[in-house]
Structure formats: structure tokens, C-alpha cells
């Protein structure tokens, strides 16, 4: 038995000073143990204070372009096949997440490319017309001057096992020069730990500006110790977990919560001729398979328009066939009993619907590693059991989808869409009104572009505090300057 | 209703046990009957490519998920001709109740009486009983209410009492009965829903009263807490029962039953939890992967599948939502297979349903 892999990043604390808890991942030959740090609340408090002080000293003094260079250098290493950090990530993540190794590699590469320097500049430019406001006071258009300050201490509460997901918020924090304390998700404690260490190696002063910690969900004393030090709290997770955390955050501390979401796809008639339909189904299948539908952007339902050469039912068959193909290339990860039960429950419901009325049918054998349920009438939107289970239902017009999804506005995020331009833009208005925040191509659902507005928010603007020097202050100052001229009588 | 089937079944239940071959013979016979007479089940089997030809043993009979009792009519006779309909309490989906149709209660009652005598009465003829559950009149569609009514009628003395009605617990007559039992040293039995026992424990803890019931006294709880009371770990629950009533944990018996079955399963006390549960010779259980229905390797957790031959009119073989693990002499119950908690940031069904309800 090898010793457990050590997660976390604790500047200023030696290994022996903190407790450790071992989390077990995988099974059989793929078994892996990861130990996560367990700190006393007082240690967490001291750590948070040190991080805040270091960030003021080392991070606040860098220009945003310098910060981007550091992140870029780290990301370049993670994209380099010879780099030990990358090798470590690719060795650990498949076991920790259970995802197919090849899927992890492809996913990680696609994902990390979004954090190269040009993309990061775009990311900043998306939120700040003049990115220099992050470095120094800049003239404001209305008069006076303005500067954006990031939080002194930003607490991230990460969740989920979509590999490397914490990088989004970590990078956001760095771009606004915030001291970072991140709480690892028990489901994937690896990548954020690696990334923090790599940043520290690329630019050593950063080592003290980031802490990556862990505490058991529901450990309010630990949460409270860090929350008390933070200016801003970013929380990811289910609404229950977010509610629980938010209840602990003082009203004077900024709180930003990203809850769980539900994705879906729309396929218009234009994509359903005999040439395009199989390709469209392939893209749709890709969105289903990538991260086993665990992402907030992952699809659970495709609404397919009638009247094309290829019927919605045929489309469902194509989709089933593509899922079958992808199973050979990227086998589904082993399911825990609870996951099997969730998928079985969903399959049973579809099966019973098919027993009760002729409109619903279930494609795929019970032991296939994917399931497609098809209905020839539009079905309400609801999460499937995940693990490559997807509902396809037929609609006459795409507009029929709107009343089906609008009641779930607070859970909407991504819609993957295959439609002609006029239909795309017409539907964008309607869907936006219904609560959707991101419309993308099929096949791109699981890879949002750099600078996207996660859940309709400004990733960076949400974090900063704008400081204004009003024109009146400038005028008043002028009047007090040594060079001021007395008003002429 | 097929009287020959019922008569054969009654004599099968009355046997002292059965061989594997005998069990399979009855199971396959009932499967063929249900496959032919039950339209919904026929379609269900067709969807799995299963026919009486392909079924060689009870393990091959497709297990019908218990949610099916909510969605379709699982009966070989017209539903309206049933003598009795038991309905689920609707704890998981408040609006829709599962229905189990019984053309005659003869089999259900025989199954209950035979197994109850073996596993709970253990040779005792009659015993004074207190029931912590509403009466059969108050809850005519509850299989548990019928079960407890049968227990008092067939195995209780005439001074047995109901300590609970739809309005709440009537604790004073119960306290009197327990004190009387202490005085007369006549063993008695407390039977009821697990959550009612939690309420009773809380109530007695408030007054500080405890009892030392005479030897031979026993307790039967069933059904878990279902959100009706605070969740009490099994260890604390049985320790509390034993301390409050002076009944050894070996005689605190948990009954595992469900509306969708016609037979109950029991453990042999709860000195050690989780206890080992088992059914009578006319019921067999296996542990399956919920997705494929295939049996899991021994020692691994799976979802319970029961083949209950007393279910002659609905379907013999059901797929539950209960997680268990096979051990010598039966299985341990490990709780419900709640939908997977979301590991990613995709909305999980549970949370969605919760939100849809509020």
C-alpha cells in the first residue's frame, strides 16, 4: 500500500502542525487514497490572516498583465505533456473522478486552453472596458477617476467532481488580486491543490497568497473561522449547501452563490435533413457523455422539432447509436449503488410511462451504459438520472419548449442549439426571457468560452469594489493646490 | 379469481418448509398465470424480452419496481372486484399512492398468521398487546393497520388496547397497562410503527417513567421514521426501548413489510444492529444491481428484490428501493437507496423535486 497523496496548500504551516483525514477513491487496482488537511478553527483564522497580508504585499502590487503572465506560465506547463504537474493530474484525476482517462485528458486540454494569456486578457476585457482600472486610478467617462479593488480575502467553497472546475474561480480571484482561501470539494480534492502549488512554483511570492484547505461539510466552526476573515464568499454547490453557508455569512460580507443547474438542447428542423441529422446527433451525444452529465451545463433533455426529413424519433435513434459508439471510445465510469439507483429510478419512470401510454419508449437495453427515452409529445423538463441518460421529445415548434422550461427559471443555464440563424436569434430572445443564460452550439455545451457570464453574472465585476474619485474632489483639490490661482475679483 | 391457485397456495404455506425445486415450481406457475392475466405485467415482461419460456427459476422473473404499483394496475382480476385494496402511505410522492389489490384476504391472512406466530409469538398462544398505530377502521387501506388488527384478534388477549388514534397518542391507558404488567408479572407486547415508539420514548422521557416489564414481554416495531419523528440511530432506538421498558434487545423485533408484499420479514431481535432479516419459506430475497436487475456478488451492497409467493394476484417479484447486504441467514437492511447526491454541479433529481414541491 502506497502512502496517500497529500492535498491542500497551507502556506506557513508544516505538515505535522495540522491533522489529516484520508479520503478513498476508486476501487481495485485503481484505488487511491488522498489525505486532506484538517485545521483547527484558530489555525484557519491565522492562515486566512496571513494570506490576506501576503496578497496585499505580493499580489496587489502586480499589474493585471503580470498576473496574467503568471497564470499563463502555469497553464502552459499544465498543457505540456512532459510537465510533472500535468502528469500527476492525469494520473490522479481519472481515479478520483471515475471518468475515463482519455476523456479527462481531452477535457482538461480543451478546458485549460481557455486560460492562456490571450484568453485571460479577453476575460478581463469582457468585464472591464479599461482593464487598467485593476491596477491604478483611471479617468472615468463621467468625470473624475475610478479604480477597481478586489477583495482582500476571497473565500471559495468549491463543489463537484468535474475535474479542475475550481480553476475558474481561482483564476477570477487572482485576476482581481484577491488573497485566496479555497475549500476543497471532497469529491475532487486534487486539481486545486496541484494548481496552487504550481502557481507558487512559477511565481514563488504567490505561495503565501493562496491557501487550499478542507473541512468536513457541516463543520460550522471551521467555516465560521474563515468566513469571519473574508470580504467575499463564493460558493458552489446544491441549494441546500449554499443556503447553509449563506446563513453563516454576515450581511456586510459579499456572498455569491452558484447553485446546481439543468441543461437542455433544442434541435430545429433545419438540422434534421438526412445529411445533417447524424452529425447533429453526434454532437449532442458528445455533450451527454462529457463529464457524465455532472456539469451544470450538461444536457438532460433534447427537444427535437418535427417536420424535418429525419423525425424526432429517428433523431433519438441516431443519438442512441452515437452513445453506443462513444461507450466504446470513452466507457462510462463505474457507478456507485446510489448512482445506479438514480438511473434505474429514471429508467423505471420512463418504462412505466411506456406501459401506461404508447407515446413514450425507452431505447437501449437495461445493461447498456446509456439510456435514451423518447416521447412523441413534448415532456416537462426534469433532470434524468445522469450517467448518460437523456430524454428526447418531439415538438412541433421550438416555442413549445418555453412554457415547459419557464417554471424552472432558477435552474436554467445552458441551452445547446442547432437551428438556422433566424430561428437562433428569435429563440434567443424568448429563451433569455425564460431564464436561460447561455446559448451555445451542440457539442460545445460542456466547454463555455473564455469570458462567459457564468449563470448570467459578471465573474470579475461581481468580485470588485469600485473606488471613485469624483470630479468635485478633483476640482476642490485643484483649488487647494500650491499652484492654484486666486479667483479674480 | 382462480380458487385452485389459492387452495394450492394455502397448502403450500402450511407446509413445514420447501425445497428449492418446490419453490421454483410454485414461482414459475404463478409467473405464467400473472404473465397471461395481467396486461401491464405482460407488457413489462415484453419490454425485457422475457416470457414463461425463458424463465427457469424464481431468479429469472423480472422484478417489477415498486413505483409500478403507483402507475399501473397490477392485478390478474379486475381491480374493482378485489375484496381489499391496500394503499401505500405515499411518503415519497404524497399525491400518488401505490395500490395492491387482493381478490381474497385468505392468503394474506394465512401468510401473516403463520409467520407472526413463528417469529414474534415464538410458541406463546396469546399475550396482552398494546398497539401504537391507528385502528383498521380508522385506516382501512393500510396493510399495517390490518396486520396489527390481526395480531390483536388472533394473538392478543381480550384486554389488549390501542394506544393511538388519528388524533394522537393516548398515553395514560398504556401506562396503566404497563404498570399492571409489572405488578401481575404477565408478559405483554408493544407493537407499532417505529416513529410512534420514538414519540412514546420522548413522552416517557419527559415524565421520567421507566418500566421493568416481566420476562417474555416483547416489542415489535416497523416501518422506520418516514419523517414522522426525529431520526434516531438504530443503536440508540433499541437501547432506548430496552432501557425504558426493560425488554431485552433480543426481544425487540423489527418487522420489515411493505404494502406491495403479502408477507412480512422479521429479525430475531436487535441485540446487534443492523439485524439479520429473513422471510418464511414462501418468500425469497436477493440483492440486485438496480439498473440491470442482476444479482450483485455476495458481500456487496445491492437493492432488495423479493419473490413473495403470497403475491398471487399482483406480481410475485418486486424490486424495492431498500439497500441491503446478504449475510448468513438472510440480509441486513442498510436503508433506502436515495437518489445519488449530486457529485457534480448538475441538478440532482432529489433537489429538483424538492424545489418543485415548495
pLDDT at A164: 82
> Are A261 and B341 within 8 A, CB to CB?
no
> Are B290 and A298 within 8 A, CB to CB?
no
**pLDDT tens digits, one per residue of B55-81:** 999 999 999 999 899 888 999 999 999
Interface test with B, best of A160, A258, A366, A381 (most B CBs within 10 A): A366
**pLDDT tens digits, one per residue of B192-245:** 999 999 999 999 999 899 999 999 999 999 987 666 777 788 999 999 999 999
Mean pLDDT over the full length of chain B: 91
Task: Tell whether A342 is within 8 A of chain B (Cβ).
Answer: yes
**Residue B23 Cα, gap to closest chain A Cα (Å):** 27
Lowest-confidence pick of A383-397, A420-434, B86-100: B86-100
pLDDT > 90 fraction of chain B, expressed in percent and rounded:
78
DSSP state of B97: -
**pLDDT tens digits, one per residue of B175-195:** 999 999 999 999 999 999 999
> Are B339 and A355 within 8 A, CB to CB?
no
Range A34-44 average pLDDT? 97
Contact list, A263 vs chain B (CB under 8 Å)? 346
pLDDT at B357: 59
pLDDT at A394: 97
Lowest-confidence pick of A354-358, B76-80, B245-249, B309-313: A354-358
Helix (H) or strand (E) holding A210: strand A210-213
CA B147 to chain centre: 10
The DSSP secondary structure of B147-202, one letter per residue, reads: HHHHIIIIIB-TT-EE-EETTEE-HHHHHHHHHHHHHHT--EEEEEEHHHHHHHHH
From CA A35, how far away is CA A24, in angstroms rounded? 9
Does residue B91 register a pLDDT over 70?
Answer: no
DSSP state of A204: G
pLDDT at A26: 84
Considering only CA atoms, which of A245, A242, A240 is closest in space to residue A220?
A245
- Put simply, the chain A residues between 310 and 339 with a CB less than 8 A from any chain B CB are 335-339
Task: Tell whether A187 is within 8 A of chain B (Cβ).
Answer: yes
Find the CB nearest B40 among A298, A355, A408. A355
Distance from first CA to last CA of chain B, Å, rounded?
44
pLDDT at B315: 97
Does residue B170 register a pLDDT over 70?
Answer: yes
Is residue B254 within 8 A of residue B224, CB to CB? The reply is no
Find the CB nearest A367 among B292, B302, B347. B292
Does residue B151 register a pLDDT over 80?
Answer: yes
Find the CB nearest B345 among A162, A344, A410. A162
Range A83-108 average pLDDT? 92
Does residue B341 register a pLDDT over 60?
Answer: no
pLDDT at A30: 81
pLDDT at B47: 82
> Are B67 and A352 within 8 A, CB to CB?
yes
pLDDT at A358: 62
**Residue B338 Cα, gap to closest chain A Cα (Å):** 7
pLDDT at A429: 97
Q: Strand locations in B264-355, DSSP E?
A: 265-267, 276-278, 283-288, 302-308, 317-327, 330-336
pLDDT > 70 fraction of chain B, expressed in percent and rounded:
92
pLDDT at A191: 95
pLDDT at A489: 64
> Are A341 and B65 within 8 A, CB to CB?
no
Is residue B225 within 8 A of residue B198, CB to CB? The reply is yes
- pTM of the predicted protein model: 0.86
Range B135-152 average pLDDT? 95
Contact list, B67 vs chain A (CB under 8 Å)? 345, 348-349, 352
Does residue B342 register a pLDDT over 60?
Answer: no
Find the CB nearest B290 among A159, A240, A340. A340
Contact list, B289 vs chain A (CB under 8 Å)? 337, 340
> Are A294 and B72 within 8 A, CB to CB?
no
Does residue B347 register a pLDDT over 90?
Answer: no
Find the CB nearest A261 among B44, B303, B347. B347
pLDDT at A63: 98
Task: Tell whether B73 is within 8 A of chain A (Cβ).
Answer: no
Range B315-320 average pLDDT? 96
Q: Quick check: helix, strand or coil at residue B256? A: strand
Distance from first CA to last CA of chain A, Å, rounded?
91
Lowest-confidence pick of A243-252, B160-169, B246-255: B160-169
Does residue A285 register a pLDDT over 90?
Answer: yes
Q: What is the ipTM of this complex?
A: 0.80
From CA B274, how far away is CA A151, in angstroms rounded? 50
Range A228-255 average pLDDT? 94
**pLDDT tens digits, one per residue of A287-309:** 999 988 988 999 999 999 999 99
Range B44-52 average pLDDT? 89
Which contacts of A120-123 are long-range, i.e. CB under 8 A and separated by 24 or more positions? A120/A68, A120/A71, A120/A72, A120/A171, A120/A175, A120/A450, A121/A65, A121/A68, A122/A450, A122/A451, A123/A171, A123/A175, A123/A450, A123/A451, A123/A459, A123/A460
* Greatest mean pLDDT range, A173-177, A480-484, B293-297: A173-177
Does residue B103 register a pLDDT over 80?
Answer: yes
Give the pLDDT band (50/70/90) at residue B329.
very high
Is residue B239 within 8 A of residue B219, CB to CB? The reply is no
pLDDT at A171: 96
Task: Tell whether A356 is within 8 A of chain B (Cβ).
Answer: yes
pLDDT at B324: 94
How far are the Cα atoms of A275, A424, B244, B290 from residue A431, in angstroms, in the given order? 28, 10, 61, 37
Interface test with B, best of A159, A295, A334, A351 (most B CBs within 10 A): A351
Task: Tell whether A406 is within 8 A of chain B (Cβ).
Answer: no
Q: Quick check: helix, strand or coil at residue A382? A: coil
pLDDT at B90: 64
> Are B344 and A346 within 8 A, CB to CB?
no
Range B328-353 average pLDDT? 74
From CA A317, how far away is CA A373, in angstroms rounded? 10
With 0-12 CB in 10 A as exposed, 13-18 as middle and 19+ as buried, what is A104? buried
Task: Tell whether B46 is within 8 A of chain A (Cβ).
Answer: no
**pLDDT tens digits, one per residue of A392-420:** 999 999 999 999 999 999 999 999 999 99
Find the CB nearest B72 among A240, A258, A355. A355
Task: Tell whether A222 is within 8 A of chain B (Cβ).
Answer: no
Interface test with A, best of B318, B321, B344 (most A CBs within 10 A): B344
Give the pLDDT band (50/70/90) at residue A449.
confident
pLDDT > 70 fraction of chain A, expressed in percent and rounded:
99
**pLDDT tens digits, one per residue of A305-342:** 999 999 999 999 999 999 999 999 999 988 888 888 88
Task: Tell whether B170 is within 8 A of chain A (Cβ).
Answer: no
Amino acid at each position: 500500500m502506497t502512502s496517500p497523496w497529500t492535498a491542500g496548500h497551507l502556506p506557513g504551516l508544516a505538515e505535522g502542525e495540522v491533522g489529516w483525514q484520508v479520503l478513498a477513491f476508486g476501487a481495485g487496482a485503481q484505488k487511491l487514497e488522498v489525505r486532506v488537511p484538517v485545521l483547527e478553527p484558530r489555525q484557519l483564522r491565522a492562515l486566512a490572516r496571513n494570506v490576506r497580508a501576503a496578497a496585499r504585499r505580493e499580489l496587489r502590487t502586480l499589474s493585471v498583465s503580470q498576473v496574467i503572465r503568471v497564470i499563463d506560465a502555469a497553464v502552459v506547463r499544465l498543457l505540456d505533456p512532459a510537465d510533472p504537474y500535468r502528469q500527476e493530474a492525469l494520473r490522479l484525476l481519472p481515479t478520483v473522478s471515475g471518468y475515463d482517462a482519455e476523456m479527462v485528458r481531452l477535457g482538461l486540454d480543451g478546458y485549460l486552453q481557455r486560460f492562456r494569456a490571450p484568453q485571460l486578457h479577453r476575460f478581463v476585457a469582457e468585464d472591464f472596458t479599461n482593464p487598467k482600472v485593476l491596477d491604478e486610478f483611471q479617468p472615468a467617462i463621467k468625470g473624475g477617476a475610478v479604480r477597481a479593488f478586489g477583495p482582500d480575502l476571497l473565500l471559495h467553497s468549491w463543489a463537484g467532481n468535474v475535474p479542475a472546475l475550481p480553476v475558474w474561480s481561482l483564476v477570477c480571484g487572482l485576476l482581481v488580486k484577491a488573497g485566496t482561501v479555497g475549500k476543497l470539494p471532497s469529491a475532487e480534492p486534487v486539481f486545486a491543490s496541484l494548481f496552487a502549488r504550481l502557481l507558487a512554483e512559477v511565481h514563488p511570492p504567490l505561495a503565501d497568497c493562496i491557501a487550499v484547505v478542507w473541512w468536513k461539510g457541516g463543520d460550522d466552526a471551521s467555516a465560521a473561522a474563515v468566513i469571519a476573515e473574508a470580504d467575499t464568499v463564493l460558493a458552489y454547490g446544491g441549494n441546500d449547501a449554499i443556503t447553509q453557508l449563506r446563513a453563516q455569512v454576515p450581511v456586510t460580507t459579499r456572498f455569491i452563490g452558484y447553485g446546481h443547474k439543468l441543461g437542455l438542447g433544442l434541435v430545429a428542423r433545419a438540422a434534421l435533413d438526412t445529411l445533417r441529422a447524424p452529425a447533429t446527433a453526434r454532437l449532442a451525444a458528445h455533450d451527454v457523455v462529457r463529464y457524465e452529465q455532472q456539469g451544470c451545463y450538461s444536457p438532460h433533455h433534447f427537444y427535437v422539432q418535427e417536420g424535418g426529413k429525419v423525425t424526432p424519433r429517428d433523431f433519438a435513434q441516431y443519438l442512441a447509436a452515437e452513445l453506443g459508439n462513444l461507450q466504446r471510445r470513452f466507457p462510462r465510469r463505474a457507478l456507485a449503488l446510489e448512482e445506479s439507483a438514480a438511473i434505474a429510478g429514471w429508467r423505471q419512470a420512463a418504462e412505466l410511462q411506456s406501459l401506461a401510454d404508447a407515446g413514450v419508449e425507452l431505447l437501449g437495453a437495461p445493461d447498456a451504459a446509456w439510456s435514451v427515452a423518447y416521447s412523441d409529445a413534448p415532456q416537462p423538463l426534469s433532470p434524468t438520472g445522469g450517467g448518460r441518460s437523456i430524454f428526447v421529445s418531439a415538438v412541433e415548434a421550438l416555442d413549445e419548449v418555453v412554457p415547459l422550461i419557464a417554471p424552472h427559471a432558477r435552474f436554467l443555464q445552458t441551452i445547446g442549439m442547432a437551428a438556422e440563424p433566424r430561428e437562433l436569434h428569435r429563440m434567443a430572445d424568448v429563451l433569455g426571457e425564460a431564464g436561460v443564460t447561455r446559448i451555445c452550439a451542440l457539442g460545445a455545451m460542456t466547454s463555455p468560452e473564455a469570458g462567459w457570464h457564468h449563470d448570467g453574472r459578471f465573474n470579475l465585476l461581481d468580485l470588485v469594489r469600485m473606488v471613485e474619485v469624483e470630479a468635485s474632489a478633483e476640482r476642490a483639490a485643484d483649488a487647494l493646490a500650491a499652484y492654484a490661482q486666486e479667483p479674480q475679483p | 379469481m382462480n380458487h385452485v391457485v389459492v387452495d394450492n397456495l394455502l397448502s403450500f404455506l402450511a407446509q413445514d418448509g420447501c425445497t428449492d425445486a418446490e419453490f421454483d415450481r410454485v414461482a414459475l406457475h404463478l409467473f405464467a398465470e400473472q404473465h397471461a392475466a395481467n396486461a401491464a405485467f405482460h407488457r413489462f415482461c415484453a419490454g425485457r424480452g422475457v416470457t414463461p419460456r425463458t424463465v427457469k427459476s424464481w431468479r429469472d422473473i423480472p422484478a417489477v419496481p415498486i413505483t409500478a404499483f403507483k402507475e399501473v394496475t397490477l392485478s390478474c382480476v379486475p381491480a374493482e372486484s378485489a375484496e381489499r385494496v391496500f394503499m401505500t402511505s405515499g411518503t415519497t410522492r404524497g399525491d400518488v399512492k401505490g395500490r395492491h389489490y387482493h381478490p381474497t384476504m385468505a392468503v394474506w391472512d394465512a401468510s401473516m398468521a403463520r409467520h407472526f406466530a413463528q417469529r414474534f409469538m415464538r410458541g406463546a398462544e396469546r399475550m396482552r398487546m398494546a398497539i401504537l398505530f391507528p385502528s383498521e377502521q380508522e385506516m382501512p387501506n393500510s396493510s399495517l393497520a390490518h396486520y396489527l388488527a390481526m395480531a390483536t384478534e388472533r394473538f392478543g388477549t381480550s384486554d389488549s388496547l390501542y394506544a393511538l388514534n388519528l388524533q394522537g397518542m393516548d398515553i395514560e391507558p398504556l401506562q396503566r397497562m404497563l404498570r399492571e404488567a409489572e405488578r401481575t408479572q404477565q408478559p405483554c407486547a408493544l407493537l407499532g410503527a417505529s416513529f410512534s415508539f420514538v414519540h412514546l420514548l420522548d413522552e416517557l422521557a419527559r415524565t421520567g417513567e421507566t418500566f421493568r416489564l416481566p420476562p417474555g414481554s416483547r416489542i415489535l416495531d416497523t416501518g422506520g421514521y418516514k419523517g414522522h419523528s426525529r431520526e434516531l440511530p438504530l443503536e440508540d432506538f433499541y437501547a432506548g426501548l430496552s432501557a425504558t421498558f426493560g425488554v431485552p434487545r433480543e426481544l425487540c423485533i423489527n418487522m420489515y413489510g411493505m404494502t406491495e408484499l403479502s408477507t412480512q420479514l422479521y429479525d430475531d431481535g436487535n441485540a446487534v444492529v443492523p439485524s439479520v432479516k429473513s422471510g418464511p419459506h414462501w418468500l425469497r430475497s436477493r440483492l440486485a444491481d438496480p439498473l440491470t436487475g442482476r444479482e450483485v456478488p455476495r458481500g456487496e451492497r445491492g437493492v432488495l428484490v423479493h419473490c413473495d409467493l403470497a403475491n398471487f394476484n399482483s406480481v410475485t417479484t418486486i424490486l424495492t428501493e431498500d439497500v441491503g447486504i446478504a449475510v448468513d441467514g438472510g440480509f441486513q437492511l442498510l436503508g433506502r437507496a436515495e437518489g445519488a447526491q449530486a457529485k457534480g454541479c448538475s441538478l440532482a433529481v432529489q433537489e429538483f423535486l424538492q424545489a418543485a414541491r415548495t
